[in-house]
Structure 1
Amino acid sequence: MGDRWHVEVDRGVCIGSGMCVGHAPDGFRLDAARQSHPRSAETDADEEILAAAESCPVEAIAITLRESGEPVFPPEE
């Protein structure tokens, strides 16, 4: 069994670029105010969701391991 992720979008930081939806349309949606939302707060580890987080121009997307809370993205420095 693979890792499970918790996905959050900081809507105070999100600028509504839509890059996340472009990379992972099954993982993110934009609301009427063009703010990103994960389609599900918990998901199986997914390369498209990781690519979406990495492509966010303002790093508004955070991914952590569900079990431990360890950061997946952005990585700890």
Structure 2
Amino acid sequence: MAGWTVEVDRAACLGCGVCVAYAPGSFEQDDEGQAVFLDPPADPEPDIRMAVDGCPTGALRLSAAAADDRDRADYEKKA
């Protein structure tokens, strides 16, 4: 996922672990049960996108570097 990262809204995260279930090599839960995105991620991009899309509270958001804004816009249209 060159140029991409995942932002976690800690206020919205319930710590349910859906992200860890979909992409265990890219997410973990900290001592407070909150989602943490690992850098570098170890899962394929589709699994990471599924984790972001599967978050029941919308606490996860894909964030792209400036060079990838068009790709992000395309992704957000599909969501």
TM-score, normalising length: structure 2: 0.75
Give the whole-Å Cα distance in 2 for the aligned partners of 1:22 and 1:42: 14
Letter of the 2:6 partner, please give it.
Answer: V
The number of residues matched between the two structures is 75
Report the 3-state secondary structure (helix = DSSP H, G, I; strand = E; otherwise coil) of the residue aligned with 2:6: strand
Structure 1 unaligned segments of length 5 or more: list them: none
Give the whole-Å Cα distance in 2 for the aligned partners of 1:25 and 1:42: 9
Structure 2 unaligned segments of length 5 or more: list them: none
Structure number with higher strand proportion: 1
Question: What RMSD, in angstroms, separates the aligned Cα atoms of the two structures?
Answer: 2.9
Percent of paired sites with the same residue: 28
Aligned in 2, Cα 1:42/1:6: closer, same or farther, shift over 3 Å? Answer: farther
Query: For residue 64 of structure 1, what is the aligned residue in structure 2?
Result: 63
Letter of the 1:36 partner, please give it.
Answer: A
TM-score, normalising length: structure 1: 0.77
Whether the 8 Å contact between 1:7 and 1:42 is mirrored in structure 2 is no
Runs of at least 4 residues off by over 2 Å: 67-72, 74-77
Structure number with higher helix proportion: 2
Aligned in 2, Cα 1:22/1:42: closer, same or farther, shift over 3 Å? Answer: closer
Query: For residue 21 of structure 2, what is the aligned residue in structure 1?
Result: 22
